[in-house]
């Protein structure tokens, strides 16, 4: 499969590298300097869980590209610009693998091909040009967003991921929406709390940290139900606790952004919940 990874940050670089190991896949990374130059000169080096070097195609220009799949991994505040660039090319499908909510709607406004939603718990950090640290295996889930009956396309993407040993799951439209809201609950509870307190995720496993994250998880579940997505509060709170335990030694992406003085994704994580809660009359203090 021909694959464009639009956004060669941490997750984009990791997934691009894992997909590029498959002989039948042709991968192009769209990123920024100096990362692009480093990959072009010496390849993309993966460290951590496994160590290897691949040499995908790489560019800073995301316009006029064509592929079977565009995997979007930019920060959510860059989705609009990414969609505009992708719209100048031709793709059989585009899949968002981003944090937050609303990315799929943005992509669908600009693109005529099927838009898929995806979520992953793979861990990665790209701290130096040309290198990405693979910090942990996780799950990968994809499903149709628009149109909602594009399950066949989602299954093809799942097969492409499976060829890279990513062990994906493919959901229908209702299932992927539940998955995204469940991930949103984890991000809304863990990311800003760790960023404000300057702590690793594991600090939220016991009081006082655990006393902060559980109410947030329940608020997100209530907002999801009001928005038409069946999400149980108890199950969501338990799922967030499991994420905290599984990623105890990790720094959340928002904590890293704050520590480095970068813009965060607070608007599309907690901000999205607040907007939806306000629309449906849900209290989310």
Catalytic residue numbers read: 183
Distance between CA 245 and CA 46 in Å, rounded? 25
Residue pair 258/195 in contact by the 8 Å Cβ criterion = yes
Distance between CA 237 and CA 213 in Å, rounded? 8
Distance between CA 156 and CA 67 in Å, rounded? 14
Distance between CA 90 and CA 102 in Å, rounded? 22
Query: Going by C-beta distance under 8 Å and a sequence separation of 6 or more, which residues neighbour residue 193?
Result: 204, 209, 212, 213, 216
Tokens of 51: 């160590």
What SS3 class is residue 29? strand
Residue pair 189/240 in contact by the 8 Å Cβ criterion = yes
Residue pair 95/72 in contact by the 8 Å Cβ criterion = yes
Taking Cα atoms as reference points, which of 186, 207, 185, 203 lies closest to residue 194?
A: 203
């Amino acid at each position: 499969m021909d694959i464009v990874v639009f956004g060669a940050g941490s997750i984009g670089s990791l997934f691009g590298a894992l997909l590029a190991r498959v002989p039948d896949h042709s991968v192009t990374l769209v990123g920024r300097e100096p990362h692009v130059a480093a990959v072009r000169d010496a390849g993309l080096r993966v460290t951590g869980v496994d160590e290897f070097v691949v040499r995908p195609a790489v560019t800073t220009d995301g316009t006029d590209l064509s592929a079977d799949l565009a995997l979007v991994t930019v920060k959510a505040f860059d989705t609009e610009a990414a969609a505009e660039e992708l719209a100048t090319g031709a793709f059989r499908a585009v899949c968002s693998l981003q944090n937050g909510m609303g990315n799929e709607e943005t992509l669908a406004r600009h693109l005529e091909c099927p838009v898929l939603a995806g979520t992953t718990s793979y861990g990665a950090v790209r701290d130096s040009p040309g290198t990405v640290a693979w910090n942990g295996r996780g799950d990968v889930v994809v499903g149709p967003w628009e149109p909602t009956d594009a399950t066949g396309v989602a299954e093809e993407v799942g097969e492409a991921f499976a060829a890279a040993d990513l062990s994906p799951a493919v959901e229908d439209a209702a299932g992927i929406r539940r998955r995204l809201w469940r991930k949103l609950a984890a991000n809304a509870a863990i990311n800003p709390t760790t960023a404000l307190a300057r702590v690793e995720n594991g600090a939220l496993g016991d009081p006082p940290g655990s006393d902060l994250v559980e109410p947030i998880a329940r608020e997100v579940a209530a907002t999801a139900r009001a928005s038409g997505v069946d999400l149980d509060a108890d199950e969501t709170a338990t799922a967030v606790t499991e994420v905290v335990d599984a990623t105890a030694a990790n720094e959340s992406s928002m904590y890293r952004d704050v520590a480095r003085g970068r813009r965060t994704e607070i608007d599309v994580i907690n901000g999205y919940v607040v907007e939806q809660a306000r629309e449906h009359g849900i209290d989310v203090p």
